[in-house]
Structure 1
Amino acid sequence: MDDVELPLVHTWSEARAAGARRRQVATDGRRLTRGLYLSAAAEQSLPARCRAWTRLLPPDAAFGLGTAAALLGGHTDPPPEVEVVLRPRPVLPQRRGLAVHVRDLRAEDVTEVAGLRVTSGAQTFLDLAPRLPPAELVAVGDALLRAGRLDAAALDRRLGRAGRTRGVVRARECAPLLSPGAMSRPESLLRYWLVTSDLPEPQVQVPVLDRWGRVVAHADLGYAEHRLVIEYEGRQHAEAEQFGRDVDRYSLMAAGGWLVLRFAGRHLGGPAVVVERTRRALLSRGWRPPS
């Protein structure tokens, strides 16, 4: 007996009713949970998996928390379980591979991504606040701002009606620190550590000018007054073409009298090295701590 053609998303009962043999059902698709399959021929992306899950979810369900952060462009890895948010109800769905959270969502707390109902950037930020350390929460918030999925007014409104929601204190403390200018998680971490230290607050995407006042480069972070810039070197900077561009940038900065501090992945374990080296560099450039 030949295999039958199955849709990209199907349940066990649908496949069997279509004439598929047990072996075909078990081997042709990826089992998401009991009785729900995503065809091996389908895109195995997070949106595709979430679309498959909607077959088993109530219509008002919204993907939330870590799943929402990934869908919204928060530059986070999706959690092992798909996370959804539902309004309170007597019986909640219970499935292996699914984590259900109860929230009293309003219409403005839900948005759409790739045809999926997803908690808004503001709601997602608030929901992640009890789970993430402040530096990581700021990094997610920065990414949501860059992606256009969060804005200060919406976040202010959501936090304003959060009451005593778990994590709201941390969310309110971190909200003023967000900036769309930090272009990656490492840059957000460096900026958070400096902003929350006793050093001056750094600028983001600092323009570096030559002697004729022309912009010749932009630095991740820095202090224009002291001609000090701070750069994070990710793995992409080791690529030959990027390395060549970096050489040009750093040469132009040095020619203009700028001091460049460079940090890498090994420095992301904590703030001590970043803050201390920045302090020493600032002192060398004439900065003095307030008395």
Structure 2
Amino acid sequence: MVGHRITAKRELRLHLGFLVSGPADAWCELSSARAPDGTRPTLDELIAAGDRLLAWSDPLATSEEVQRAMARFAKSRGIRSIMAAEPHLRPGSASPRETQLRVAVLAAPAGFPEPECNGEIVLGSGSRTHGDLVFREYRVVLEYEGDQHRTDVRRWRRDIDRLNDLAKAGWLVIRIHAETPEAVWADWLESALRSRGWSPQAR
């Protein structure tokens, strides 16, 4: 671990009897932190950490708190990296992999529309479910299947029911995993969106 000096006025919180930086301030501090090999967090790592603040389950901060923390760190080392990452943050992500997938979707040459992170979907029965990345206008869902979907039997069974409910309601679901090449899932996604009326010009 490499120490660093903080000059910005921080929001402090009491945690387990210790004063620590608030989550949004800790994110700003992360930009200037160095690993033992001297490297700093990459832009993608800062985006993933920032999305964790605004996460779908158990968020650690609000967008407003992130903005206030950035203002406190406006003259601190690393603020340029934070300013580059912040526009990419979105509430609702459930994992770093979902964040990475969303960022890759938006950077893809096809010019895909921006999806909702874990957007809620109301089915014809009135029940509610969600999708990892929801292209609501086109009724397309892009799902990232991590190993926990395979190894957790109860979750695996829930996923089967959820995805079948989505298909019954007319949603196209694309399922990918960690080894799915970007060119492959991008082709699947483009085909699905085009089949529902999307074209690059519609962005």
Name the SS of the counterpart of 2:92 in structure 1: coil
Greater fraction of residues in strand: 1
8 Å CA contact retained: 2:140, 2:192: yes
Q: What is the aligned partner in structure 1 of residue 94 from structure 2? A: 183
Contact between 2:53 and 2:60, CA under 8 Å: does it hold in 1?
A: yes
- 1:144 to partner: Cα distance: 2.2
In structure 2, the gaps of 5 or more residues are 33-39
Paired residue for 1:100? 3
One-letter amino acid of the structure 1 residue matched with residue 105 of structure 2: L
Q: Which residue of 2 aligns with 1:234?
A: 146
Correspondence for 1:221: 133
User: Post-superposition shift, 1:211?
Assistant: 3.0
Query: Structure 2 length as normaliser, TM-score?
Result: 0.80
RMSD: 2.4
Structure 1: state its 5+ residue gaps. 1-80, 82-98
1:174 correspondence with 2:85: yes
Equivalent pairs counted in the alignment come to 190
Give CA-to-partner distance per residue, 1:220-257, whole Å, 9 cap, x none: 11111111001111222113222222211111111111
Q: Is the 8 A contact 1:162 1:168 kept in 2?
A: yes
Amino acid at match of 2:17: G
Residues 209 and 256, structure 1, Cα contact 8 Å, conserved in 2: no
TM-score by length of 1: 0.58
Distance 1:165 1:271 in 2: 36
Aligned match of 2:23 in 98, 103, 121?
121
Cα distance in 2, alignment partners of residues 155 and 216 from structure 1: 30
Give the Cα–Cα distance (whole angstroms) in 2 for the partners of residues 278 and 220 of structure 1. Answer: 14
Paired residues for 1:76-87 under 5 Å: 81=1
The answer as to whether partners of 1:125 and 1:141 remain within 8 angstroms in 2 is yes
Equivalent residues in 2 for 1:117-266, closer than 5 Å: 117-129=19-31, 131-146=40-55, 147-197=58-108, 198-212=111-125, 214-238=126-150, 239-266=152-179
The answer to whether the Cα contact below 8 Å between 2:8 and 2:73 also exists between their aligned partners in 1 is: no
8 A Cα contact 2:163 2:173, kept in partner: yes
Identity %: 32
Counterparts of 1:206 and 1:148 in 2: how far apart (Å)?
Answer: 16
Give the partner amino acid of 1:178: L
**Mapped partners of 2:14, 2:186: distance in 1:** 40
